[in-house]
């Protein structure tokens, strides 16, 4: 299978079938063997760095010349820093405890029947993602460590980078006697490959990471369980008692540290008491960082260059240096705004008031609800999980940042001595 | 909405929307209030027993006169014993600890950021089920206790029983000031009501419990996350070292104690060493209980009345007093048979041999793998969970018997002191 081969469904079916066959090997790999593959992968990534980065540069230049949006081009690039981070990610995963076989629970029923609930690999996992090629390596590492085989469908704009990375992954598997077909990369850029993958019931789960268009395709065509990694319309509410200095720092960090990510803030809600002083400071500081502001009528009085916010902009995941600012009269109004326009991803409150913090955390129904911290911290690495498969916006199986444990399922192991059912 | 109203999609949409609105109330109900509703429900069920059983009798007689299969008619009937069990189930759920708000994990990252992962209600749950009307009460009780609103779609053959039960549920809610729209029952018997429910993206999850035809509809039409409660093609493997007395008891229990359930055994695999003695005993004992046997060539030599087993019968969930028997040469052959024909539900081995038991439990990839116990014991009540929503054959979110915890999801609560993202 090469990038030049035209897409045909039977190729995809065959690749998925081969990955399924490899799964039975992946499921029972000893921890030591899985770590051997990961350490070798880290070595090979280091050895092949120049080659891989030159493929990545090709993808990047092509994306630029095609006029793709800057947020997307930025995410595509494997800078030296990101490359090192990617290698570190692989060795970090090797260092994580193996989740397979761990006890979730163990008890004895009143009749003396022993019941254990233990972690086992989730199975054959399909991952659909866009632009960032380091995801290829991250997702493979986590799946391998969790005993899962994986079918990867990366973005068309990163295909050269991904093929170079997958070559290295396959080498690391082969050198350790593990079938490389358990890490299957689909090189086709056709949308029908995505549709067919979503319909392939040999997969135990598909994890789609992407924007609204991908999610529409998923809703329409998925015939297998899905863990969505949907958009993040993240809010920060600046409560009446918020510390002004902290507010400026956190707001800047949440908006400008990496605006192309799903945990970047898209709407700032400000309590009306801050209109005279903190609001103008916020507007000035954000404008200095070239943030394009959409404001409510009160906010627009601060600076005439502020555009008009609308329900449409409140529902927009900008993924760029753009931001809504809305002045609200109360905590209730802030919570209502988030319920109406939020995506249930990550929302934060800045406050010194304990009852207000508690109410915000209880009543905002998002995967992560923060107090006095930047929304950008909702991340597997920042949380100290050692890695991240993505941030689930689904309510089932996994919600919020997804680590190694979320790539497992459970199995009941029951032991009796001739026990019967009497009821 | 009555049973006489013709089905129209806008009625369903409105009912789901009302249930969604009620959800925000259900999510924050204090434990005491939830238990008040449950205790009142138990009382009302006791008071209205004669009335509800007469409705149930109507359903049963109609099902018999329509010539529905005996397994289905049996499951429909609310006998005195099952009625008492149903009431006991409600008070048991009241006695279970409330899962909402419980900590799953709590840690502090290296920067001092506090991260808590806590249980919150799963959300708006749709449940599609057949025949057994006690499921209406069981599922409602569990959903309420977990803070979930629920949309129930019962089987057309149980509609009178279900409407009578739902009336009592609504009374218990109303008397406690909880909106009854949060426990919505869809009385229509049209298949298009199932299709529209599966496509209603206001639901957070749908739990379908039923046979192959329902599962096909689910695969085709579901646009929301699904936790399947699919068929159980359960096996028992009688290993070489199995105790003959125990084998006879466990095999009889697994096949005949309630053949219409998904955890009943459908195929018995017997090690070749038992052909001279235990196999004839098994065949005789099963035939005495009027079990219809399909056998492999070796088994058929025991008794000429045994029918011929085939790949088709091995793939059949009989749900009746019918059984496949196949003689195998080894543990490997038994494991391969289960991998090929099983449904990943519940499988058991009878053995005294420890390494054999361990290999069977590790290598059989089913939601519950048992040693020296009847497959019928895979059940929330038998396990001591206090209740059961069903037995999930999905790998994500919940696998095997599903209790109260599986009706929750999690939420990250993060607390900092102006923490920023630096990477």
pLDDT tens for A373-396 read 999 999 998 998 877 888 999 999
Portion of chain B with pLDDT greater than 90, in percent: 84
State the Cα torsion A22-A24-A25-A31 to the nearest 10°.
130
Residue A127 CA to residue B285 CA, distance in Å, equals: 51
Which stretch of A167-176, B31-40, B184-193, B252-261 has the lowest confidence by average pLDDT?
B184-193
Q: In chain B, which residues have their Cβ closer than 8 Å to the Cβ of A118?
A: none
Mutation to test the B interface, candidates A241, A259, A369, A373, most B Cβ within 10 Å: A373
What three-state secondary structure class fits B345?
coil
Average pLDDT over residues A385-411: 91
Q: In chain A, which residues have their Cβ closer than 8 Å to the Cβ of B399?
A: 409-411
Residue B2 CA to residue B389 CA, distance in Å, equals: 26
Q: Mind listing the pLDDT tens digit for each residue in A348-367?
A: 999 999 999 999 999 999 99
Residue listed under structure tokens 């001092």: B112
3-state secondary structure chain A: CCCCCCCCHHHHHHHHHHHHHHHHHHHCCCHHHHHHHHHHHHHHHHHCHHHHHHHHHHHHHHHHHCCCCHHHHHHHCCCHHHHHHHHHHHHHHHHCCCCCCCEEEEEECCCCCEEEEEEEECCEEEEECCCCCHHHHHHHHHHHHCCCEEEEECCHHHHHHHHHHHHHHHHHHHHCCCCHHHEEECCCCCHHHHHHHHCCCCCCEEEEECCHHHHHHHHHHCCCCECCECCCCEEEEECCCCCHHHHHHHHHHHHHCCCCCCCCEEEEEEEHHHCCCHHHHHHHHHHHCCCEEEECHHHHCCCCCCEECCHHHHCCCCCCCEEEEEEECCHHHHHHHHHHHCCCCEEEEECCCHHHHHHHHHHCCCCEEEEEECHHHCCHHHHCCCCCCEEECCCCCCCEEECHHHHEEEEEEEEEEEECCCC
Which class would CATH give B234-383?
Answer: alpha beta
What pLDDT, on the 0 to 100 scale, is given for residue B219?
86
Q: Reply yes or no on whether the pLDDT at A6 is more than 90.
A: no
Look at strands B114-121 and B103-108 and give their pairing.
Answer: antiparallel
Portion of chain A with pLDDT greater than 90, in percent: 84
The neighbouring-strand residues paired with A401 are A391
The region, left, alpha or beta by phi > 0 then psi within -120 to 50, assigned to residue B257 is alpha
Residue A319 CA to residue A95 CA, distance in Å, equals: 33
What pLDDT, on the 0 to 100 scale, is given for residue A113?
97
CATH 3.40.605.10 describes domain B9-230+393-414: yes
Please indicate whether, in this complex, the C-beta atoms of B420 and A257 are within 8 angstroms of each other.
yes
Q: Mind listing the pLDDT tens digit for each residue in B111-153?
A: 999 999 999 999 999 999 987 899 999 999 999 999 999 999 9
Q: Other C-beta atoms within 10 Å of A244: how many?
A: 14
State the Cα torsion A183-A187-A192-A193 to the nearest 10°.
-10
Among the partner-chain residues A110, A253, A401, the one whose CB lies closest to the CB of B420 is A253
Residue ranges of domains in chain A:
9-230+393-414, 234-383
Average pLDDT over residues B239-253: 98
- Judge whether B127 and B206 are in contact, CB under 8 Å: yes
Confidence class for position B107, pLDDT limits 50, 70, 90: very high
**Closest C-alpha to B20, from A356, A229, A339, A296:** A339
What pLDDT, on the 0 to 100 scale, is given for residue B381?
86
**Closest C-alpha to B270, from B258, B286, B290:** B286
Residue A142 CA to residue A155 CA, distance in Å, equals: 19
Q: Reply yes or no on whether the pLDDT at A3 is more than 70.
A: no
What pLDDT, on the 0 to 100 scale, is given for residue B4?
55
Average pLDDT, chain A: 94
Mutation to test the A interface, candidates B373, B374, B398, most A Cβ within 10 Å: B373
Which stretch of A358-372, B3-17, B333-347 has the lowest confidence by average pLDDT?
B3-17
**B106, B234, B298, B301 from B327: Cα distances, Å:** 51, 16, 7, 11
What pLDDT, on the 0 to 100 scale, is given for residue A4?
55
What pLDDT, on the 0 to 100 scale, is given for residue B2?
47
Average pLDDT, chain B: 94
Among the partner-chain residues B115, B371, B401, the one whose CB lies closest to the CB of A383 is B115
What pLDDT, on the 0 to 100 scale, is given for residue B412?
98
Q: In chain B, which residues have their Cβ closer than 8 Å to the Cβ of A397?
A: 396-397
Q: Which chain A residue has its CA at the smallest distance from B223's CA?
A: A219
Q: Reply yes or no on whether the pLDDT at B171 is more than 70.
A: yes
What pLDDT, on the 0 to 100 scale, is given for residue A299?
98
Q: In chain A, which residues have their Cβ closer than 8 Å to the Cβ of B382?
A: 109, 113, 421, 423
Confidence class for position A114, pLDDT limits 50, 70, 90: very high
Tokens matching residue B12? 């369903």
Which stretch of A200-214, B235-249, B308-322 has the lowest confidence by average pLDDT?
A200-214
**Closest C-alpha to A373, from A253, A232, A239:** A253
Confidence class for position A209, pLDDT limits 50, 70, 90: confident
Residue listed under structure tokens 């209205």: B48
- Please count the residues of chain B: 423
Rounded to 10 deg, the angle between the B31-47 and B159-175 helix axes is 130
**A360, A364, A393, B123 from A335: Cα distances, Å:** 7, 6, 19, 18
Q: Reply yes or no on whether the pLDDT at A1 is more than 70.
A: no
- Å from B5 to nearest chain A CA? 30
Confidence class for position A419, pLDDT limits 50, 70, 90: very high
Biggest CA-to-CA distance, chain B:
80
CA-based torsion, B107, B108, B110, B113: positive or negative: positive
Average pLDDT over residues B69-73: 82
- Judge whether B85 and A423 are in contact, CB under 8 Å: yes
Residue A273 CB contacts under 8 Å (≥ 6 apart), including other chains = A240
Give this prediction's pTM.
0.89
Please indicate whether, in this complex, the C-beta atoms of B417 and A372 are within 8 angstroms of each other.
yes
Please indicate whether, in this complex, the C-beta atoms of B399 and A410 are within 8 angstroms of each other.
yes
What three-state secondary structure class fits B349?
strand
Residue A122 CA to residue A404 CA, distance in Å, equals: 10
Q: Which chain B residue has its CA at the smallest distance from A82's CA?
A: B423
- Å from A3 to nearest chain B CA? 32
What pLDDT, on the 0 to 100 scale, is given for residue B1?
42
Q: Mind listing the pLDDT tens digit for each residue in A244-257?
A: 999 999 999 999 99
Average pLDDT over residues A29-42: 98
**A233, A238, A335, A394, B204 from A315: Cα distances, Å:** 7, 19, 15, 18, 20
């Amino acid at each position: 299978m090469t990038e030049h081969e035209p897409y045909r469904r039977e190729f995809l079916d065959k690749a998925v079938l081969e990955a399924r066959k490899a799964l039975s090997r992946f499921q029972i790999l000893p921890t030591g063997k899985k770590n051997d593959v990961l350490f070798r992968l880290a070595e090979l990534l280091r050895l092949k760095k120049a080659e891989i980065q030159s493929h990545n540069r090709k993808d990047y230049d092509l994306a630029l010349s095609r006029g793709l949006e800057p947020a997307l081009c930025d995410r595509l690039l494997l800078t030296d820093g990101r490359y090192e981070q990617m290698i570190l990610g692989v060795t970090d995963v090797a260092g994580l405890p193996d989740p397979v076989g761990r006890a979730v629970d163990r008890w004895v029923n009143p009749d003396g029947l022993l019941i254990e609930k233990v972690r086992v690999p989730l199975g054959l996992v399909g991952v659909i993602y866009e632009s960032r090629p380091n995801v290829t390596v991250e997702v493979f590492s986590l799946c391998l460590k969790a005993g899962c085989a994986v079918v990867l469908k990366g973005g068309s704009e990163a295909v050269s980078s991904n093929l170079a990375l997958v070559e290295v992954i396959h080498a690391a598997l082969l050198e350790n006697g593990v079938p490389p077909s358990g890490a299957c990369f689909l090189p086709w850029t056709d949308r029908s490959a995505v549709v067919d993958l979503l319909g392939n019931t040999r997969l135990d789960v598909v994890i789609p990471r992407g924007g609204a268009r991908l999610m529409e395709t998923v809703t329409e065509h998925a015939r297998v369980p899905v863990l969505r990694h949907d958009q993040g319309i993240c809010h920060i509410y600046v409560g009446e008692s918020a510390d002004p200095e902290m507010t400026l720092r956190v707001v800047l960090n949440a908006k400008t540290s990496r605006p192309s990510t799903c945990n970047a803030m898209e709407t700032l809600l400000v309590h009306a008491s801050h209109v005279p002083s903190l609001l103008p400071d916020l507007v000035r500081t954000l404008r200095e960082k070239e943030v394009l502001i959409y404001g409510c009528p009160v906010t627009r009085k601060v600076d005439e260059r502020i555009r008009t916010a609308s329900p449409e902009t409140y529902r927009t995941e900008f993924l760029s240096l753009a931001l809504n600012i809305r002045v609200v009269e109360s905590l209730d109004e802030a919570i209502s705004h988030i319920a109406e326009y939020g995506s249930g991803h990550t929302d934060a409150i800045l406050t010194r008031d304990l009852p207000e913090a508690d109410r915000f955390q209880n009543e905002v129904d998002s995967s992560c609800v923060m107090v006095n911290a930047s929304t950008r911290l909702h991340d597997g690495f920042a949380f100290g999980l050692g890695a991240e498969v993505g941030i689930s916006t689904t309510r089932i199986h996994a919600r919020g940042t997804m680590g190694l444990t979320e790539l497992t399922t459970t199995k009941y192991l029951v032991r009796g001595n001739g026990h019967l059912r009497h009821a």
